């Protein structure tokens, strides 16, 4: 079991973001974990028919599985280390465990055209 599996299990068992789970997320992911928890609490994880999107302060980041289109994912993280995730992916995992994803019954690719 990886450290990520561990905090996902804590969220699943508790049904919420307990202090124990939050502390574990921050212990493993540091500032990325803090940003992820903030994004979830601010309801910035959006699920569309085609993508999951995390709304940042200046951009929106597209998540597919455990891949993100952000620069942190591209340049700073070791893809072979399952604990190295950008805060957008961490936020998506947390939101999914807590059923806190804001679902939009539309295609993000269509919405993106208007942004």
The string of pLDDT tens digits covering residues 23-78 is 999 999 999 999 999 999 999 999 999 999 999 989 999 999 889 999 999 999 99
pLDDT computed for residue 87 by the predictor = 97
Neighbours of 107 (CB within 10 A): 13
- Tokens of residue 46, six digits: 């959006």
Backbone dihedral angles phi then psi of residue 105, each to the nearest 5 degrees: -80, 65
C-alpha 7/C-alpha 58 separation (Å) is 28
Q: Coil, strand or helix: which one is 41?
A: helix
For residue range 66-111, what is the model confidence (pLDDT) as tens digits? 899 999 999 999 988 988 999 999 999 999 999 999 999 999 988 7
Identify the CA nearest to 70 among candidates 49, 91, 50. Answer: 91
Residue 112 confidence (pLDDT) above 80: no
Helices (H), the chain: 3-14, 19-29, 31-41, 71-75, 87-97, 108-114
How would residue 115 be classed by pLDDT, with cut points 50, 70 and 90?
low
- Tokens of residue 109, six digits: 């690719």
Residue whose token pair is 């940042």 = 56
Residue 33: give the domain boundaries: 3-114
State pTM to two decimals: 0.93
Q: How many distinct structural domains can be found in the chain?
A: 1
Bridge pairing between strands 67-68 and 60-64: antiparallel
């Amino acid at each position: 079991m990886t450290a990520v599996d561990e905090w996902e299990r804590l969220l699943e068992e508790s049904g919420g973001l307990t202090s124990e789970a939050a502390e574990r997320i921050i212990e493993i992911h540091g500032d990325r974990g803090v940003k992820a928890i903030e994004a979830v609490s601010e309801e910035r994880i959006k699920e569309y028919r085609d993508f999951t999107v995390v709304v940042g302060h200046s951009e929106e980041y597209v998540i597919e599985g455990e891949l993100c289109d952000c620069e942190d994912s591209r340049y700073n993280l070791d893809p072979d280390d399952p604990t190295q995730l950008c805060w957008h992916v961490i936020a998506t995992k947390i939101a999914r465990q807590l059923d806190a994803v804001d679902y939009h019954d539309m295609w993000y690719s269509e919405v993106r055209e208007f942004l």
